[in-house]
Amino acid sequence: MIPPEEDAEFVYHMEDVLALYHEPYDPNQPVVCFDEHPTELTKEVLAPLPAAPGRVAREDYQYKPNGTKNLFLASEPLAGQRVVTVTDRRTKRDWVTFIRHLVDEHYPDADCIRVVLDNLNTHDPIAFYDFFEPAEARRLLNKLEFHFTPVHGSWLNMAEIEFNALSQQCLDQRIPDAATLQTEVAAWEEHRNTATATIDWQFTTDDAQTKLERLYPSFED
């Protein structure tokens, strides 16, 4: 539930993101949705039984937790491309390192990368100055434009849709270690990028003003 005093802030960020989503595709100013998610690693207690004639593969219900890893995901919905990276942690340093990788390796020719992301305290543009020389921090920030989803509005981030696909198509299995996780995630990323799987976002500002009318102030003549 959104407190009434936060309605205007919610509407501001929501409409900013929705307007961005409905701009025409521009490869020089790609819209990239970013999110992150912890992933639990689990080891088998007993070796699974492989399939055999007249018998399906069997997996014991017991498993042993083997730590967690973090996934950074950036999705360009209109281009049908995404990038997924496995990290040990999700600190500010990890975040700025991933964003620099995005700028230099995936969008080196873009004039401006417009990044949609939530307002975690680690997603702080000032952090670029904490970990890079000033000239490097400014170089990267000159290529970036951040659009933050509102508090309680993570559903506005299309990266969540990508994470749902990743969870259903790749992570719905026992993954024992980081190397296996990296291999599985990379295979999923390549398959989905090759298929150019896009996201057809339908929710508009007009829809918001109708369906979320309670968030908008009413003005009497």
Which domains, ranges and CATH numbers included, belong to the chain?
Answer: 23-41+63-194 (3.30.420.10)
Q: Taking the CA atoms of 26, 151, 138 and 160 in sequence, report the sign of the dihedral they define.
A: negative
Question: Which tens digit of pLDDT belongs to each residue from 90-134?
Answer: 999 999 999 999 999 999 999 999 999 999 999 999 999 999 999
In this predicted structure, what is the pLDDT of residue 182? 96
Instruction: List all residues 6 or more positions away from 133 whose beta carbon is below 8 Å from its beta carbon.
Output: none
Most trustworthy range by pLDDT among 46-55, 130-139, 166-175: 130-139
Q: What angle do CA 169, 170, 174 make, to 5 degrees?
A: 130
Furthest-apart CA atoms within the chain: distance in Å: 78
Residue 39 has pLDDT above 90, yes or no: yes
Query: Taking a C-beta distance cutoff of 8 angstroms, is the pair 103, 131 a contact?
Result: no
Average pLDDT value over all residues in the chain: 91
Please state which of the ranges 22-26, 139-143, 157-161, 213-217 shows the lowest mean pLDDT.
213-217
Residue 201 has pLDDT above 90, yes or no: yes
Question: Which tens digit of pLDDT belongs to each residue from 45-92?
Answer: 555 556 667 656 555 555 677 899 999 999 999 999 999 999 999 999
Please state which of the ranges 35-39, 44-48, 136-140, 198-202 shows the lowest mean pLDDT.
44-48
Q: How far is CA 135 from CA 96, 98, 123, 128, in A?
A: 15, 18, 20, 10
Note the pTM of the prediction, 2 decimals.
0.87
Q: Looking at the DSSP assignment, which residues form a beta bridge with residue 180?
A: none
User: Which helix (DSSP H) or strand (DSSP E) does residue 7 occupy?
Assistant: helix 7-21
The band of 6, judged by pLDDT with boundaries at 50, 70 and 90, is confident
Residue 2 has pLDDT above 50, yes or no: no
Q: Taking the CA atoms of 100, 118, 197 and 201 in sequence, report the sign of the dihedral they define.
A: negative
